[in-house]
Structure 1
Amino acid sequence: MAFNAAPDGFNHPVIGINGKWPLPKVQANVGDTIVVRATNKLGNETTGLHWHGMFQTETYAPHQGSNNMDGPVGVTQCGIPSDSSFTYQFTANPAGSFWYHSHASGQYPDGLRGPMIIHDPNWEKNLKIEDQYAMTVSDWYHEQMSGQVHYYLSQTNTDDHDGAEPIPQATLINDKMSEKFKIKPDKRYLIWIISMSALAAHYVKFDGHQMQVVAIDGVPVKEAPTDVINISAAQRYDVIITGIENSKKNYAFVASFDPDMFDTVPDDLNMNSDGILEYDTSYPKPDPIREQAFTNVLDDFGLVPLDGQALLGSPGQTVTLNVNFTQFSVGARGALGTTPYIGQKVPTLFTALTTGRNANNPKVYGETVNPYILEPGQIVQIVLNNLDDGGHPFHLHGHNFQVVSRSSVQPWDGQTAQFPKIPVRRDTVKVPASGSIVIRFKADNPGIYLFHCHIDWHVESGLSVTFIEAPMQLQKQFPSGICAEQKAICKKQNIPVEGNCSGNTRNPLDTSNCVQKEQFDPNPYGALINPPAGRRARSFARELATARAGA
């Protein structure tokens, strides 16, 4: 539901849950069953929830997997329409710091996102910690996403600002401008640092307290000391800090915008949100950390997974993707191949479950979802060349992956001799500006999984591909097909629940009625493609965003 909040003093509509914002923290032990009944009270928008980092495996009977609970609208489900409900049920797996968020219509930057901690009691016991704190970092916009996305994708933005992403107005810690953690001398504290940003990366630093990184993106690692981390959108770092013996003061910590993520930095932009490590309430408030440039920043490429998983063997399939922004008649769009991602009429999972052996043919899913068929058990290698002059954090649903190469140049030169023997593993990795990365994972989790840039502007722009993993095994996991509740929310919107990308059940290979790459929606939020003459684009975008405020 929507109502107003002012985390940085500016009052505007947010999307809350059960009448509250910030959203509740979801906590469970690994292996627990999580059940969430989601009812849409937005009034004029469909929605859905993605459980970022969850594998969606080992779930409740009769299924062996829960890919239908992953949450991206148009991929594994139809959007939940207004005044309708859907029940998510899945096993908490793996353990670590995660988050949940809308995977529809640019909703999570408007507030529909919250932290999720999956505990492994044995691992946490071995860390010998006194206490633990969740610490989300995020960027915050004063204008709603509906109008801003419309302008961002329009030709006007390309003409006026070279297609630049809107710059946020504030950075937040735990959805507020400041935070406080109580600390005792000589005690160890586990801090789950979670980025819920739509665009910005953050530097995080604790004054006087070195961090020991113990896990990233749900993957425990050998303890690695650092003064500063740089955390991109959707990444997570679990760190330990130790209280200073005989401390006589309180200490500051900070989450500071990484300015490299912005095309320009406005003079009035507050780059920092602040926190306090409080040893004693009688001690004065510490001076905030203000640095022009952060040094001694952790290099995540050198982290070593605690389980010692060796470099995966030679790939059975290599997928080469080029990050590129291309000009179309309706404006600039992002693409990883020949077409930006555009959702089809039928959710991709439904097509995989209802087209029999044709599910092995990428054609049935529609060209615009950029489908790749993965064979069961094969090693998949993704070569990602970044033709853009900005960095991009890429996330893979349903898996974590080994990062086996990272380069400041592109295209990747094909050299494998320097691949690490035990590569770092995570589920969200940043490809450098004008650089490249190579990642590997094993296709051991049948399902439909997006691989996409987690800058939300770029999701809307089209920087996504779809992996259709082991579709024949997937059909066996869902012998009864799509559950009745999922069918109901689709049929309420007249969306087909079987067949190819257009709902064709008689001839799945006939995709003539599917969405074609020429069929971009130039007008995704129901307004003119260009602002009226003489009006500033941002003012026009504000006017476009009124509908959700009244929902």
Structure 2
Amino acid sequence: MFPFLTRPRIIFCAPESSTFFSSFLAHPTARPKTPSPVNQLLSSNMVAHHSFMLLSLAALALGSPFGELQQRAEPRIQQRAACAGNTATTRSKWCDFDIKSDYYTGQHPNTGVTREFWLELTDSVKLAPDGVPRYAQAFNGTVPGPTLVMDWGDDVVIHVTNKLTQSINGTSVHWHGLHQKDTVLSDGVVSVTQCPAVPGTTQTYKFKATNYGSSWYHSHFALQAWQGVFGGIIINGPASANYDEDVGMVVLSDWGHKTPDELWHQAETQGPPTLENALINGMNVYGAEGNQTGKRWETSFESGKSYRVRLVNTAIDTHFKFGIDNHTLTVIALDFIPVEPYEATMINIGMGQRVDVIVKADQAAVASDFWMRAIPQSACGTIQMAKNTRAIVHYGASKGVPATTGHTYVDACEDEPLEKLKPIIRIDAEEATYQQLKIATAGVNAKSVFRWYLNSTTMELDWSKPTVSQLANNASVAFSNSNAVMELPEADKWAYVIIQTNFGVAHPVHLHGHDYSVLAQGSGAYQPGVTKLITTNPMRRDTAILPAAGHLVLAFKTDNPGAWLMHCHIGWHTAQGFAMQFVERRSEMFSKNIINNNDIEGLCEPWRTHVGKHNIKLEDSGI
């Protein structure tokens, strides 16, 4: 069984107090001069060399026995003084680098700064983000967890303490979209790059922020991320258009009044369940007009200024279209890829994706209050309150309720059009050295539960025997079919993967350790010699949509030795085996000391003991 929240041995107990609160504790030299916004740890003007931060419980006080979330403090992100060249009128500059610096070839800062963070993962966190009570697991007591803010070129050290003593869950944390260049053991994927960390232990992740932009971190242990175990990441760096202020992360998520663990049996026997609500920055209302619980997230603009908004979709099974009534969005980045700016009124954002936009506050003549909308698309998940996922943008000191009308849109599970997406850093896709065609299908296995298959293989990994452990114990190990491994032995070659499906379900496909070039994306089957491939500066992403009954052709350069997972980012589908992995340049993992058995066994030996003690059984794909 899943070692989750609904089994008798791991039922949540209510904490003694139904109120939790936050304190921002930092090394004296690292404390901001102004109060820290809730859920944001600002990196501005903090330290010249080391930054020490303790991320503690955030200020979301709840009444007894449950209460509504209090309005979050305004999450403005302050710019660090370290890169004086980056101003409101020169956002393309960053210290001695700029928006065209090719970080793929090592053109990135080395700041000499170590950002150090502490995260605590706990059970029995009582939440009512839409006024309806539910227990969750959470980092530092909040959903979303604290936003981690760092600068391009920083060294990052993050200590994650597992305090899931009631649920006896293991855990890991994946830093979504970070390349983890030569640091595969910090990618945070159970069964691939590590064994789960057991309750009562602290795992330390170390990596360098070689790319920049907006992202998120989340558990990569079964469905734990959607129990509430996620938060935002901001890596300050250059931008492809100017703006005045940084609003920070705007986190889009779906939300059930039952936990994903409680819904898992339904998901694997009947199909994806309907969820009650969706949230913006952890808040929304629920219920019929006039009888609603909860509160909406609110922010304010000053007329005439421009604002950077960092969107991330953390949902388990919801594709959003996002817009702000009467306003035009200027898109400047998708995932971690800066693009030539383009304008849109509504944008697509699939699960795991990020989109950075700039909004000009130029509508004061129209109204003082506007709806911000995140609209779940009906063909990609089902939300009861689908038309009510809204936040409020006020102009100035106004606190009114908006009466504005939304932009028109077509309900569809799709990416932003490829023809609009022009990466600033130009990279052409070269001829394929490695190529595989993967047909995605779904079926019922011998246990009468749904599983997803790529070429008749559904991923089944073992928490106790991660890929890196198998390699460390036997450099020439031959992986079983259920490990779903594609070998990429040569350096700096190009791998092409063609994924297609006849099923009428779209899938957001996420690759670890790399961005990939999107060479083709469309309906119907891929046809060699007929399907047009974009090889001249194609859009790069780490998450792109495989269209329903369609195809996705992706390509990446083998420039990062490691074991890298690729999977559908619909949480149910990941758990049901829609995944494969790339073992890239395995010999160099040893010659460069990228993996070593002592580090791996430091987690695996306690985990094996924990599994034996509690008789924990694996019932999903293992990732």
Indicate which of 548, 569, 573 corresponds to 1:454. Answer: 569
Whether the 8 Å contact between 1:56 and 1:91 is mirrored in structure 2 is yes
After TM superposition, give the deviation of residue 199 of structure 1 in Å. 0.5
After TM superposition, give the deviation of residue 39 of structure 1 in Å. 1.2
Whether the 8 Å contact between 1:394 and 1:454 is mirrored in structure 2 is yes
* 1:150-176 CA-partner distances (Å, limit 9, x unpaired): 33224xx2xxxxxx2112111101111
Which segment is superposed worse, 279-288 or 248-257? 279-288
Whether the 8 Å contact between 1:219 and 1:305 is mirrored in structure 2 is no
Change (3 A) 1:102 1:25: same
Unaligned stretches of 5+ residues in structure 1: 58-64, 158-163, 497-520, 526-551
After TM superposition, give the deviation of residue 349 of structure 1 in Å. 1.3
Residue 466 of structure 2 aligns with which residue?
Answer: 347
Residue 84 of structure 2 aligns with which residue?
Answer: none
| TM-score, length of structure 1 as denominator length | 0.81
* 1:400-435 CA-partner distances (Å, limit 9, x unpaired): 111111121114444355525221111100011000
Secondary structure, aligned partner of 2:282: coil
Change (3 A) 1:281 1:480: closer
User: What is the CA–CA distance in structure 2 between the aligned matches of 1:365 and 1:355, rounded to whole Å?
Assistant: 11
Change (3 A) 1:291 1:244: closer
User: What is the CA–CA distance in structure 1 between the aligned matches of 2:430 and 2:354, rounded to whole Å?
Assistant: 27
Indicate which of 239, 243, 246 corresponds to 1:123. Answer: 239
Q: Count how many residue pairs are aligned between Structure 1 and Structure 2.
A: 475
User: What is the CA–CA distance in structure 2 between the aligned matches of 1:19 and 1:276, rounded to whole Å?
Assistant: 25
Residue 176 of structure 1 aligns with which residue?
Answer: 283
Whether the 8 Å contact between 1:69 and 1:88 is mirrored in structure 2 is yes
Indicate which of 209, 213, 225 corresponds to 1:108. Answer: 225
Matched, 1:319 2:452: no
* 1:478-506 CA-partner distances (Å, limit 9, x unpaired): 2771344x42221113379xxxxxxxxxx
Residue 514 of structure 1 aligns with which residue?
Answer: none
Residue 346 of structure 2 aligns with which residue?
Answer: 228
* 1:336-366 CA-partner distances (Å, limit 9, x unpaired): 122211113411012223323x15xxxx222
Which segment is superposed worse, 171-180 or 293-302? 293-302
User: What is the CA–CA distance in structure 2 between the aligned matches of 1:495 and 1:348, rounded to whole Å?
Assistant: 19
User: What is the CA–CA distance in structure 1 between the aligned matches of 2:278 and 2:141, rounded to whole Å?
Assistant: 23
Matches within 5 A, 1:378-393: 378-393=493-508
Residue 192 of structure 2 aligns with which residue?
Answer: 75
Secondary structure, aligned partner of 2:226: helix
User: What is the CA–CA distance in structure 1 between the aligned matches of 2:575 and 2:411, rounded to whole Å?
Assistant: 33
The runs of at least 4 consecutive aligned structure 1 residues that moved more than 6 Å come to: 295-298
After TM superposition, give the deviation of residue 386 of structure 1 in Å. 1.5
After TM superposition, give the deviation of residue 179 of structure 1 in Å. 2.0
Change (3 A) 1:334 1:246: closer
Opposite residue 384 of structure 1, the aligned amino acid is: I
Opposite residue 27 of structure 1, the aligned amino acid is: V
Secondary structure, aligned partner of 2:139: coil
After TM superposition, give the deviation of residue 477 of structure 1 in Å. 2.3
User: What is the CA–CA distance in structure 2 between the aligned matches of 1:456 and 1:419, rounded to whole Å?
Assistant: 30
| TM-score, length of structure 2 as denominator length | 0.72
Residue 9 of structure 2 aligns with which residue?
Answer: none
Change (3 A) 1:134 1:29: same
Change (3 A) 1:181 1:379: same
Indicate which of 10, 25, 32 corresponds to 2:147. Answer: 25
Whether the 8 Å contact between 1:389 and 1:433 is mirrored in structure 2 is yes
After TM superposition, give the deviation of residue 227 of structure 1 in Å. 0.5
Whether the 8 Å contact between 2:434 and 2:495 is mirrored in structure 1 is yes
Secondary structure, aligned partner of 2:456: coil
User: What is the CA–CA distance in structure 2 between the aligned matches of 1:347 and 1:328, rounded to whole Å?
Assistant: 23
Opposite residue 347 of structure 2, the aligned amino acid is: I
User: What is the CA–CA distance in structure 2 between the aligned matches of 1:416 and 1:471, rounded to whole Å?
Assistant: 33
Residue 46 of structure 1 aligns with which residue?
Answer: 170
User: What is the CA–CA distance in structure 2 between the aligned matches of 1:416 and 1:432, rounded to whole Å?
Assistant: 15
User: What is the CA–CA distance in structure 1 between the aligned matches of 2:407 and 2:361, rounded to whole Å?
Assistant: 23
Matches within 5 A, 1:47-62: 47-57=171-181
After TM superposition, give the deviation of residue 38 of structure 1 in Å. 1.0
Whether the 8 Å contact between 1:98 and 1:218 is mirrored in structure 2 is yes
Whether the 8 Å contact between 1:55 and 1:94 is mirrored in structure 2 is yes
Indicate which of 307, 325, 331 corresponds to 1:213. Answer: 331
User: What is the CA–CA distance in structure 1 between the aligned matches of 2:194 and 2:474, rounded to whole Å?
Assistant: 17
After TM superposition, give the deviation of residue 458 of structure 1 in Å. 0.2
User: What is the CA–CA distance in structure 1 between the aligned matches of 2:581 and 2:594, rounded to whole Å?
Assistant: 23
Q: By percentage of residues, which structure has more helix?
A: 1
Matched, 1:251 2:370: yes
Secondary structure, aligned partner of 1:494: helix
Indicate which of 312, 316, 319 corresponds to 1:198. Answer: 316
Whether the 8 Å contact between 1:212 and 1:225 is mirrored in structure 2 is yes
Change (3 A) 1:353 1:414: farther
Whether the 8 Å contact between 1:254 and 1:288 is mirrored in structure 2 is no
Secondary structure, aligned partner of 2:482: helix
Whether the 8 Å contact between 2:169 and 2:198 is mirrored in structure 1 is yes
Matches within 5 A, 1:281-296: 281-282=397-398, 284-287=400-403, 289=405, 293-294=409-410
Change (3 A) 1:180 1:283: closer
Higher relative contact order (CA 8 A, sep 6+): 1
Secondary structure, aligned partner of 1:8: coil
Whether the 8 Å contact between 1:353 and 1:474 is mirrored in structure 2 is no
* 1:344-396 CA-partner distances (Å, limit 9, x unpaired): 3411012223323x15xxxx222211001012211011101122111000000
Change (3 A) 1:258 1:288: farther
User: What is the CA–CA distance in structure 2 between the aligned matches of 1:132 and 1:284, rounded to whole Å?
Assistant: 20
After TM superposition, give the deviation of residue 463 of structure 1 in Å. 0.2
Matches within 5 A, 1:529-540: none
After TM superposition, give the deviation of residue 292 of structure 1 in Å. 8.0
User: What is the CA–CA distance in structure 2 between the aligned matches of 1:168 and 1:245, rounded to whole Å?
Assistant: 34
Residue 521 of structure 2 aligns with which residue?
Answer: 406
* 1:263-299 CA-partner distances (Å, limit 9, x unpaired): xx57x53433212221132363212656785489983
Unaligned stretches of 5+ residues in structure 2: 1-121, 285-295, 611-616
Which segment is superposed worse, 318-327 or 281-290? 281-290
User: What is the CA–CA distance in structure 2 between the aligned matches of 1:300 and 1:417, rounded to whole Å?
Assistant: 15
* 1:487-535 CA-partner distances (Å, limit 9, x unpaired): 2221113379xxxxxxxxxxxxxxxxxxxxxxxx89569xxxxxxxxxx
- What CA RMSD, in Å, does the superposition of the two structures yield over aligned residues? 2.4
Residue 150 of structure 1 aligns with which residue?
Answer: 265
Secondary structure, aligned partner of 1:352: helix
User: What is the CA–CA distance in structure 1 between the aligned matches of 2:277 and 2:495, rounded to whole Å?
Assistant: 39
Opposite residue 149 of structure 2, the aligned amino acid is: Q
Residue 379 of structure 2 aligns with which residue?
Answer: 260
After TM superposition, give the deviation of residue 246 of structure 1 in Å. 4.8
After TM superposition, give the deviation of residue 448 of structure 1 in Å. 0.6
Matched, 1:16 2:142: no
Change (3 A) 1:280 1:400: same
After TM superposition, give the deviation of residue 233 of structure 1 in Å. 0.3
User: What is the CA–CA distance in structure 2 between the aligned matches of 1:495 and 1:312, rounded to whole Å?
Assistant: 46
* 1:92-130 CA-partner distances (Å, limit 9, x unpaired): 23101110000012011110011111110x437x62433
Whether the 8 Å contact between 2:350 and 2:415 is mirrored in structure 1 is no
User: What is the CA–CA distance in structure 2 between the aligned matches of 1:482 and 1:30, rounded to whole Å?
Assistant: 31
Which segment is superposed worse, 195-204 or 300-309? 300-309
User: What is the CA–CA distance in structure 2 between the aligned matches of 1:313 and 1:21, rounded to whole Å?
Assistant: 42
